[in-house]
Amino acid sequence: MYIEDKFNAHWMPFTANKSFKSSPRMFNRAEGVYLYTDDDREILDGTACLWCVNAGHGRKEIAEAVRNQLETLDFAPSFQFGHQGSFDFANRLIEYTPPGLNHVFFTNSGSEAVDTALKIALAYQNARGKSSKTRFVSREKAYHGINLGGTALAGIPGNRKGFPVILEVDLLPHTQDVERNAFSRGLGAEGGVERAGALLSIIAQRGAENIAAVIVEPIAGAGGVVIPAEGYLKRLREICDQHDILLIFDEVITGFGRTGSAFASIEFDVTPDIMTTAKGITSATIPMGGVFVQEEIYHTITNGAGGDAIEFSHGYTYSAHPVACAAGNAVLDIYQREQLLTRAGGEIGKYWEDALHSLRHLPRVIDIRNYGLLGAIEFEATERYPDGIFYETLKAGFENGVLLRGIGNAIAMSPPLIIEKNEIDKLIDGLEKSVKQVFS
């Protein structure tokens, strides 16, 4: 039995601290697609923890790479100095990005990557004499991290509550359309492209000369696995091009194989000007993130300063940390050797899709949606759970041996890319049992 005082010192993130500390849910080891509790119960990881353990848990080759790096060069300053590992890793990464996105600025998380992308967008507009371009356009249900810039962009109201908005931000409507696209497989087919047209209304109201960039997740993750309609992202690209506005894709969740391609921008054949990433970049073993930018953006900013002047006054103590780069290189080796970046687009992705849609019979289900190895099941709102079923689902899943992520009245899932068919079956069984328990 845990004593609450034992846990007092740690103020936990995005957690009901008092509730958790009265009845903790603790893990002490992990392997493959499983986490293990203090009492050695096996919990199937249905969410890659926080959308991030793409290569699965306990990979010995990553641990070995990290150990070797710690013994060789545990840290080196990243301001005005460098180490070979960061350049090697950067060169490898751009082999997987869309054409033209061939420069990467390293961060330590997705939140830092988003704030960095915003600053790059502002620096670029200023460097080319467009200093009035300071506004941003985000989207309802959007999650762009929890730093101040990402909070301002948030399309999830609860994430903005209690915090002042420090940027000028307009929100596009989200792309979820249960009425027309419920139980769709893959991209929504029955309309939705017109929702991109809302950007034209924002441009008309604010003026293109005042808008720096539009930022969207190709598939909104923390907003409930909200999948766009066919052609929606391409329409955003067209509008941004027509009005001289940058397009930023937040691929912190969709990057590194989640959709069946290395990045969703490749999967959907839409190339952004700036792209953020994190999570799967190291399969969550060492914190790291990055921002990829087009050639023209990099050169416009770096050519703006002369001599030994710093062109972009931004960075973090741990940007391109040697140990994170070593972990990332080892993870890329795994992705390449096991073909994990495209696995979700093949047979296992189809099996996942069929398994999810087999749960249509569950009580109160109003939608099931999926793409690659992402999926969500949405339920009717109930008076019994006025704030949504997310917390009850999380607890029931833990009791039934599966790690689930509740978002309002939806259950979101994104298992490790190494998951096998029998493990999907086990996840679906645990999910079904948990839902029936919540609504019993």
Q: Say whether 415 sits in a helix, a strand or coil.
A: coil
Q: What is the pLDDT of residue 190?
A: 62
Q: What is the pLDDT of residue 283?
A: 98
CB-CB contact of 169 with 153 (8 Å): yes
Query: CA 280 to CA 53: how far, in whole Å?
Result: 6
pLDDT tens digits along 86-138 = 999 999 999 999 999 999 999 999 999 999 999 999 999 999 999 999 999 99
Task: Give rounded-to-5 percent helix, strand, coil for the chain.
Answer: 40, 20, 40
Task: Reply yes or no on whether the pLDDT at 310 is more than 70.
Answer: yes
pLDDT tens digits along 46-64 = 999 999 999 999 999 999 9
Q: Which range has the worst mean pLDDT, 154-158, 185-189, 233-237, 327-331? A: 185-189
Query: CA 137 to CA 171: how far, in whole Å?
Result: 6
CA angle 49, 337, 412 (to 5 degrees): 25
Q: What is the pLDDT of residue 387?
A: 84
**Domain 4-54+341-438 class in CATH:** alpha beta
Task: Reply yes or no on whether the pLDDT at 189 is more than 70.
Answer: no
Residues in the chain: 440
Q: What are the boundaries of each domain within the chain?
A: 4-54+341-438, 64-337
Question: Which pLDDT band holds residue 413 (cuts at 50, 70, 90)?
Answer: very high
Q: Which residue has the higher pLDDT, 207 or 194?
A: 207
Query: CA 215 to CA 247: how far, in whole Å?
Result: 6
For residue 143, CA distances in Å to 151, 174, 249, 275, 415 come to: 8, 12, 12, 15, 19
| Mean pLDDT (whole number) for 175-192 | 81
pTM above 0.85, yes or no: yes
Q: What is the pLDDT of residue 314?
A: 96
Question: Which pLDDT band holds residue 4 (cuts at 50, 70, 90)?
Answer: low
Query: CA 407 to CA 424: how far, in whole Å?
Result: 21
Average pLDDT taken over every residue of the chain:
94
For the chain, what percent of residues have pLDDT higher than 90? 82
Q: Which residue has the higher pLDDT, 308 or 402?
A: 402
Task: Reply yes or no on whether the pLDDT at 3 is more than 90.
Answer: no
Residue 220 bridge partners (DSSP): 226
Q: What is the pLDDT of residue 1?
A: 44
| Mean pLDDT (whole number) for 65-92 | 97
Task: Reply yes or no on whether the pLDDT at 257 is more than 60.
Answer: yes
Q: What is the pLDDT of residue 182?
A: 85
Options 3.20.20.70, 2.40.50.100, 3.40.50.300, 3.40.640.10; CATH for 64-337 is 3.40.640.10
pLDDT tens digits along 346-371 = 999 999 999 999 999 998 999 999 99
Q: What is the pLDDT of residue 259?
A: 98
Q: Which residue has the tokens 């996840």?
A: 427
Task: Reply yes or no on whether the pLDDT at 2 is more than 60.
Answer: no
Task: Reply yes or no on whether the pLDDT at 372 is more than 70.
Answer: yes
Task: Reply yes or no on whether the pLDDT at 380 is more than 70.
Answer: yes
| Mean pLDDT (whole number) for 264-290 | 98
- Residue 171 CB partners (closer than 8 Å, separation 6+): 137, 138, 139, 140, 142, 155
Q: What is the pLDDT of residue 107?
A: 98
Task: Reply yes or no on whether the pLDDT at 71 is more than 90.
Answer: yes
| Mean pLDDT (whole number) for 147-173 | 87
